[in-house]
Amino acid sequence: MFDGLPPGGDVYLFSRVLGGWSDEKIVRVLENCLSAMGKTSSRSLIFDRLIEDQNSTVLPALWDLHLLVMIGGRHRTLESFGQLLKRSGFVIERTASLPAETMAIRAAPN
């Protein structure tokens, strides 16, 4: 994922993998995804745990701490994830809340 993805796909799916990485690594993966897309009709679907806001309850803070201690990552708000997508050349088309504190994000090339 850091070196390239198969080109020409209709959909590129990232399910609960991006939260464990630094902002820089996420941007690199998403830039690789954008390069692989090759057509404006391709989309990226991202399923990940997002926190509601920075002042959320204790449980999201514990998830965040767990990621930080275990692999150096962190959970993000939708706004902060949107900023990473924008830096990578994407725009959020649609979001949906899913069970188990998961958010679905459909992103398109900007």
Decide if 5 is inside a domain: no
**pLDDT confidence of residue 55:** 59
- Tell whether 3 is covered by a domain: no
pLDDT band for position 102 (cuts 50, 70, 90): confident
Please, what's the b/e burial string for 18-37 (b: 16 or more CB within 10 A of its CB; e: otherwise)?
A: bbbbeeeebbbbbebbbebb
- Domain residues for the domain of 50 are 11-109
- Which residues have C-beta within 8 Å of that of residue 18, sequence separation ≥ 6? 26, 29, 46, 48
* 2 in a structural domain: no
Does 28 reside within a domain?
Answer: yes
User: pLDDT tens digit string along 41-92?
Assistant: 999 999 988 877 655 566 666 666 666 665 566 678 899 899 999 999 999 9
Q: What pLDDT does residue 22 have?
A: 84
Does any domain span residue 49? yes
The CATH number of the domain holding residue 96 is 3.40.50.150
Per the prediction, the chain carries an average pLDDT of: 84
Q: 102 lies in a domain?
A: yes
Task: Specify if 97 maps to a domain.
Answer: yes
Q: pLDDT tens across 16-48, in order? A: 888 778 889 999 999 999 999 987 799 999 998
Q: How many domains does the chain have?
A: 1
**pTM as predicted:** 0.82
Report the pLDDT value the prediction gives residue 96, as an integer from 0 to 100: 96
